Amino acid sequence: MRLFVGLGNPGARYAGNRHNIGFMAVDEIARAHGAAPWRRRFQGQASEAVLGAEKVVLLKPETFMNESGRAVAEALRFYKLGLPDLVVFHDELDLPPARLRVKAGGGNAGHNGLRSISAHCGNDYRRVRLGIGHPGHKDLVHGYVLRDFAKAEEPWVEDLTRAVADASPLLARGDDASFQNKIHLAMEARGWGEVKRPGDKATG
């Protein structure tokens, strides 16, 4: 069994924010794989699905981003899962829009959701880094991530989350390299090889 966690802030006010792309990815996985209805559990909304041969619990913490670790720790304890079973989907400033990388462990790059999870659970879990680009200066980051995706960005967001859902059985079985490669090829095929915003940084 795996625990797939999407990071975001709860409520309609935040639903379209760049910071909520983790929620969007997990929602699309649930939709694409016929997951059970969402229900209130673990200080969030939880569902279950079968991805390939693997049973996966999907979780969207409703603690607000900065306290995501409380919900994740509760779910891990309930299912008696370890950090190798945890996969977290989150927005990544240091990747260009429409790009994705899978990373195990490492630093949290100032992401408060990841910081909270690491504080409550430990650091050695997998992160699916969903690129949203950088506004160009650190003083602009807070407002940038808490604004909705622009209308022009919505097509690549939809394509990226759909590609994540399509490839998610690979992630569930631990084949991170194939998962990442399949999404890269899918995004290239859809014409999203290079999506730039002014001031974007491309690292990692």
pLDDT in tens, 104-157: 988 887 799 999 999 999 999 999 999 999 998 989 999 999 999 999 999 999
The whole-number pLDDT of residue 193 equals 72
Q: What's the whole-number average pLDDT of the chain?
A: 93
Distance CA(148)–CA(30), nearest Å, equals 22
Which residues are part of the catalytic machinery? 19
Domain that holds residue 100: 2-189
pLDDT of residue 201: 44
Whether 204 is in a domain gets the answer no
Residue 82 included in any domain: yes
In a domain, 6, yes or no: yes
Q: For residue 86, what is the domain's CATH number? A: 3.40.50.1470
Total tally of structural domains belonging to the chain: 1
Written in H, E and C, the secondary structure of 101-157 is EEEECCCCCCCHHHHHHHHHHCCCCEEEEEECCCCCCHHHHHHHHCCECCHHHHHHH
Percentage of the residues of the chain whose pLDDT score is greater than 90: 89
pLDDT, tens digit (0-9, with 9 covering 90-100), for 17-51: 999 999 999 999 999 999 999 999 999 999 999 99
How far apart are the C-alpha atoms of 115 and 110, rounded to whole Å? Answer: 7
Q: Is the pLDDT of residue 199 over 60?
A: no
Residue 72 has pLDDT above 50, yes or no: yes
Rounded mean pLDDT of 160-188? 96
Residue 120 lies in a domain: yes
